[in-house]
Amino acid sequence: MDLDVRPQPLPGITRLSLGALSGLLAGYAAIAVAELVSAAVRPESGPVIAVGGAAIDRTPSGVKDWAIRNFGTNDKLVLQLGILAVLTVLALVLGALAARWRVIGSAGVLAFGVVGAAAATSRPDSTGLGDALPSVVGAVVGAGLLYLLIGRLGTHRARAEQPGERTETADGVPTAAGAPSDRATASGTGDEAEDSRWDRRGFIVAATAAAAASTGAGLAGRALNGSQGQDAVASRAKVVIPAPSSSAAPVPRGAALRIKDISPFMTPDGDFYRVDTALVVPKVDATSWRLRIHGKGVTRERTLSFDDLLRMPLIERDITLTCVSNEVGGPYVGNARWIGVRLADLLTECGVRPPSKGGPADQLVARSVDGMTIGSPVDDVMDGRDAMLALGMNGRPLPFEHGFPVRMLVPGLYGYVSACKWIKDIELTTFDAYDAYWVERDWARKAPIKTESRIDTPKPFGRPKAGTVMVAGVAWAQHRGIDKVEVRVDDGPWEEARLAAEDTRDTWRQWSYEWTAAKGGHTLTVRATDRTGETQTEKRAPTIPDGASGRHSVVVTVD
Ligand SMILES: Nc1nc2c(c(=O)[nH]1)N[C@H]1C(S)=C(S)[C@@H](COP(=O)(O)O)O[C@H]1N2
Ligand SMILES: [Mo]
């Protein structure tokens, strides 16, 4: 390749393509620089995370529910890839536009900077105008780069002024007549003459340098962002949770059935479902963490440190957590052994009385470091159940994904009305005065967990062998307890399943049923009855607004 060949004006199609390429490079530079700057502000302030977060905040509940259902915990990855795909297309289009109207391309890049900045500062966890910085700096660099690269392509206008310049063949290749043969004829000014030519060497050098510098900035930003939270990691490593003053009884031996493919009674940490709006898992340093308790009826306001909590009497309890977005038969339910401070005791120390005892506040609003708000009924929290500020999960400090250093748990309530992770503030208020995050998005104010049961084995469309087939699964009705599980084959009678021993009424219960299976296609259905005598309804309800109902069925073919 001879870079010194005398530059020629660009054929239209090539110009457009190089414009699009310039747009892509400018977009890449903008994102990379923003990533680098975000490391100096906060990882959450980068435009992709910010726009993603703002999108999550504004997504209609139905779409979000659909995303959680279809992508599960990958929903966040899918969202970010989607944003990058959209940005790629927009960058290509802006670049192509810039090839025709140089300023418009750069103005477009700046406009996206404004969108990113607005998204970053509008997030509930935004710490101020500084969050706009990554988007703004990235956009300025991207806009400048696009302007510079397009400049290397020569001015479109100067070419248009050339007599005969507009004569192009069908595929956009200008006729020989259109090519200015020397500098002097291009235009009156030397600059314009220079500009009307395409500076191939200049373009290649600038494009290559920009790509390399962007990659460097992006990687450096990634590395810096990735290394953030070291203090939090170190603080977690140092946590020693004292022995509880009230231990959980050992799990009864009969609570965990030895059946292949049944959900383990205790969900291993790595398999425990995760549902939250955080695109970046908050890394909170336990040594500087504080929890403030205040609001209506709080006569002794308190601000507690992590060590303060560690010095209080701790309770250890097995609690099954369930997400309101869990479909009938779905996976968003998990059981763990938690350790923490009894919330009711702490509230009582602060002077809080539940409304049933004349207190003025009926809603407890928990706020997290990432701006989530979760509202729970004060009466439920203080009715004697083991609502807690959990510090530990399965014998270890909480994993970051599950809320380190402290999260709330209220047995019997769906997570979105009880289980605030990365909690930092508790405010006593009323349901009349305040709607929490999900309530603003059409979910119910109050949401006790519905009685449900799930068939874990056989799997849907499984092909068990004729004869004895073990049908088994789990059933839950937290804080009421499960008293009976029944299985039905096709339209036959309900047959009582064998219940595993109960751990507590706040945990799920395994069950099994020995089915004498005849060849052919069959539908297995399960239903549970809780300790109030209520049998799981067959009435199907969607997850919105207060949790799915209906019965789980599995279709199998017996060979
Ligand atoms: N800060 C914060 N806490 C949160 C959420 C969230 O999005 N942000 N989601 C809630 C929901 S909807 C559920 S079901 C539980 C899930 O807890 P897990 O991810 O530990 O299983 O956390 C709750 N606590
Ligand atoms: Mo949830």
pLDDT digits (tens, 9 = 90+) for 400-415: 999 999 999 999 999 9
pLDDT, residue 7, reads 57
17 with 150, same domain: the answer is yes
Residue nearest to atom 18 of ligand 1 (CA): 274
Residue range of the domain that includes 99: 12-154+197-227
How far is the C-alpha of 505 from the C-alpha of 385, rounded, in Å?
10
Q: Does the beta carbon of 416 sit less than 6 angstroms from any atom of ligand 1? A: yes
Does 171 have pLDDT greater than 60? no
Number of domains present in the structure of the chain: 2
Domain assignment present for 218: yes
Q: What is the pLDDT of residues 300-337, one digit of tens each?
A: 999 999 999 999 999 999 999 999 999 999 999 999 99
> Do 148 and 212 sit in the same domain of this protein?
yes
> Is residue 181 over pLDDT 60?
no
pLDDT at 383 over 80: yes
pLDDT confidence of residue 128:
83
Q: Is it the case that residue 48 has pLDDT exceeding 90?
A: no
Q: Are residues 339 and 412 in the same domain?
A: yes
Strands 290-295 and 423-429: parallel
> Both 315 and 370 in a single domain?
yes
Confirm or reject: Cβ of 437 under 6 Å from ligand 1: no
Q: Is there an atom of ligand 1 within 6 Å of 338 CB?
A: no
Phi (first) and psi of residue 533, to 5 degrees:
90, 0
The CB of 276 under 6 Å from ligand 1? The reply is yes
Atom 20 in ligand 1: residue holding the nearest Cα? 402
What pLDDT is attached to residue 191?
44
- C-alpha 209/C-alpha 199 separation (Å) is 15
Q: Whose CA is nearest to atom 7 of ligand 1?
A: 276
Ligand 1: nearest atom to the Cα of 321: 21
Taking the CA of 76 as reference, the closest ligand is: 1
**pLDDT of res. 197:** 76
User: Which range (115-119, 123-127, 128-132) has the least confidence?
Assistant: 123-127
For the ranges 102-111, 189-198, 497-506, 537-546, the lowest mean pLDDT is seen at: 189-198
Does residue 172 have a pLDDT over 60? no
Tokens 């966040």, residue? 76
Using the mean position of ligand 1's atoms as its centre, give its distance from the Cα of residue 185 in Å: 69
Using CA atoms, how far residue 394 sits from 63, 294, 336, 421, in Å, is 33, 30, 6, 16
CA angle 84, 85, 87 (to 5 degrees): 60
Tell me which of 277 and 409 has the higher pLDDT.
409
> What is the percentage of the chain residues whose pLDDT exceeds 70?
91
> Domain check: are 222 and 276 in the same one?
no
What are the residues whose beta carbons fall under 8 Å from the beta carbon of 63, sequence distance 6 or more? Answer: none
- State if residue 277 touches ligand 1 by the CB under 6 angstroms criterion: yes
CA of 276 to the centre of ligand 2 (A): 7
Say if residue 201 is in the same domain as residue 301. Answer: no
Q: Is 381 in the pocket of ligand 1 (CB under 6 A)?
A: no
Give me the CATH number covering residue 279: 3.90.420.10
Ligand 1 within 6 A of CB of 408: no
Residue 465 has pLDDT above 80, yes or no: yes
Q: Quote the percentage of the chain above a pLDDT of 90.
A: 76
522 has a pLDDT exceeding 80 = yes
Distance 214 CA to ligand 2 centre (A): 38
Give the residue from 406, 441, 476 where a domain finishes: 441
Mean pLDDT, the chain, whole residue set: 90
**Residue 420 in contact with ligand 1 by CB distance below 6 A:** yes
With a 6 A CB cut-off, is 304 part of the ligand 1 pocket? no
510 contacts 502 by C-beta, under 8 angstroms: no
The answer as to whether 282 is a domain residue is yes
